[in-house]
């Protein structure tokens, strides 16, 4: 089990080093956390934010894995390889839009409560 955590951490390090979008998502997540501290999100707001951040980061990591696998098995351009990459990217977009909607709901509820 300890080895599995080590492999997961290595995956995080690799994604951090090689994927600009991972770094962008982490920076945005940190900005949301700072805003939550300043605005004093409720415990429920924090739960929603944590789930949203986790969803976006998880889909971004899966997208990174799909891209690496597609590059391995299809180094040349192929319509199915493009489709796999595009669909994985669409998953990140869907997760990001859902997180944005959740974040706006938390923000509006927080501002109304103050």
Q: Which residues are catalytic?
A: 60
Compute, in degrees rounded to 10, the torsion defined by CA atoms 44, 32, 16, 9.
-30
The residue ranges of DSSP E strands in the chain, in sequence order, are: none
Confirm if 52 and 99 have CB atoms less than 8 A apart.
yes
**CA nearest neighbour of 19 among 68, 80, 91:** 68
Residue 15 to residues 25, 33, 53, 62, 69: CA-CA distances in angstroms? Answer: 12, 21, 16, 10, 14
């Amino acid at each position: 089990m300890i080895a599995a955590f080590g492999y997961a951490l290595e995956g995080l390090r690799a994604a951090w080093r090689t994927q600009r979008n991972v770094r962008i998502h982490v920076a945005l997540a940190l900005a949301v956390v700072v805003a939550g501290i300043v605005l004093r999100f409720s415990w429920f707001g924090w739960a929603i934010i944590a789930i949203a951040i986790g969803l976006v980061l998880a889909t971004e990591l899966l997208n990174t894995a799909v891209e690496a696998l597609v590059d391995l098995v299809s180094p040349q351009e192929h319509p199915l390889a493009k489709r796999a990459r595009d669909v994985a990217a669409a998953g990140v977009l869907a997760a990001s839009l859902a997180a944005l909607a959740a974040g706006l709901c938390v923000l509006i509820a927080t501002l109304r409560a103050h």
